């Protein structure tokens, strides 16, 4: 049995009368791709935001690699090996792909972004950034401006930026959002290559992608995890069918 890398215990987050996460318990095992699915408004992105440190839970605990991180800053969590990519592309469009990834390398190494100009020529940072671009198949486009590449390539770039931080675990919030079938297929292949080397917690609406990638699958409805199991068991779960898979996403 694989070791548990991320352990979420009784996690709660309310916004006034709206329950975003409701007593969430979840274990993510090292080296696996663990997907979270659920209807719009189920609390998936809010959960990811709490894991990455962008939102502080009202109560509950988050353990990463055996230590509580619930009170740690996003930067500290990233330093410990927990990296997030966002639902909406967050790359810097006027900069090249290489420059975007070098910023991520710079941040992960503890340098201030105020010193960006001097480190642009840093060979070690450049090599690390190029290695991350190669992992997602963008090394041949390193000098292209991010605003001039396709949406799918921008999403690949964001994964490269996360990988450049040398994480143990990736938090991916809808990496296939807005992609066509060819771009989705490319992203699926990238994530398959990362399987085993990186632990991945994946939030995704594209059910074909989820079923293709996930080792474990959790279903979130109204902020509560109603089921966690293998893909095959989740697909056959009557409660899941009723709550989620039986609607337009089936």
Strand partners, 35: 202, 217
Please give the structure tokens belonging to residue 30.
């090292």
Q: What is the DSSP letter of 115?
A: G
CATH of the domain at 8: 3.40.50.300
Answer yes or no: are the C-beta atoms of 142 and 133 closer than 8 Å: yes
Please give the structure tokens belonging to residue 151.
């949406």
Q: Are residues 182 and 66 in the same domain?
A: yes
Q: Are residues 193 and 149 in the same domain?
A: no
Q: How far, CA to CA in Å, does 16 sit from each of 19, 52, 58, 246?
A: 8, 22, 12, 30
Question: What is the DSSP annotation of 130-150?
Answer: HHHHHHTT-GGGTTSBGGGS-
Answer yes or no: are the C-beta atoms of 165 and 82 closer than 8 Å: no
Answer yes or no: are the C-beta atoms of 41 and 98 closer than 8 Å: no
Please give the structure tokens belonging to residue 236.
């056959």
Residue 175: CA atoms inside 13 Å, Cβ hemisphere, count?
Answer: 32
Q: What are phi and psi of 93, to 5 degrees?
A: -60, -35
Answer yes or no: are the C-beta atoms of 173 and 86 closer than 8 Å: yes
Neighbour count for residue 44 (Cβ, 10 Å): 24
The tens place of each residue's pLDDT in the chain, 250 residues long, gives: 469 999 999 999 999 999 999 999 999 999 999 999 998 889 999 999 999 999 999 999 999 999 999 999 988 898 899 998 754 456 888 999 999 999 888 777 655 444 445 456 688 889 999 999 999 999 999 999 999 999 999 999 999 999 998 899 999 999 998 999 999 999 999 999 999 899 999 999 898 999 999 999 999 999 999 999 999 999 888 888 777 655 544 3
Q: How many domains does the chain have?
A: 2
Q: pTM of the full predicted structure?
A: 0.88
Q: Are residues 177 and 225 in the same domain?
A: yes
Please give the structure tokens belonging to residue 10.
């009784």
Q: Are residues 154 and 185 in the same domain?
A: no
Q: Are residues 66 and 186 in the same domain?
A: yes
Residue 49, domain extent: 1-79+169-250
Of 51, 59, 61, 113, the residue nearest 82 (C-alpha): 51
Sequence-distant contacts of 181-187: CB under 8 A, at least 24 apart? 182/152, 183/150, 183/151, 183/152, 183/155, 184/152, 184/209, 186/137, 186/152, 186/156, 187/152, 187/155, 187/156, 187/159
Q: Are residues 103 and 175 in the same domain?
A: no
């Amino acid at each position: 049995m694989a070791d548990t890398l991320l352990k979420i215990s009784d996690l709660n987050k309310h916004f006034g009368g709206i329950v975003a996460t409701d007593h969430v318990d979840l274990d993510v095992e090292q080296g696996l791709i663990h997907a979270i699915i659920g209807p719009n408004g189920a609390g998936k992105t809010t959960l990811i935001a709490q894991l990455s440190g962008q939102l502080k839970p009202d109560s509950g605990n988050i353990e990463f690699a055996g230590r509580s991180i619930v009170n740690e800053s996003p930067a500290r969590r990233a330093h410990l090996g927990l990296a997030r990519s966002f639902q909406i592309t967050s790359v810097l469009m006027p900069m090249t792909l290489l420059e975007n990834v070098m910023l991520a390398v710079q941040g992960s190494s503890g340098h201030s972004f105020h010193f960006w100009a001097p480190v642009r020529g840093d060979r070690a940072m450049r090599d690390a950034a190029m290695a991350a671009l190669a992992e997602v198949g963008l090394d041949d486009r390193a000098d292209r401006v991010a605003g001039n590449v396709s949406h799918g390539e921008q999403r690949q770039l964001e994964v490269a930026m996360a990988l450049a931080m040398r994480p143990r675990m990736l938090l991916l919030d809808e990496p296939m959002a807005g992609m066509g079938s060819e771009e989705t297929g490319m992203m699926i292949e990238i994530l398959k290559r990362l399987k085993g080397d990186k632990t991945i917690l994946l939030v995704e609406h594209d059910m074909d992608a989820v079923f293709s990638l996930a080792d474990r699958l959790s279903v979130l409805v109204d902020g509560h995890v109603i089921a966690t199991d293998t893909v095959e068991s989740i697909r056959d779960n009557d409660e899941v069918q009723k709550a989620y898979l039986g609607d337009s996403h089936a």
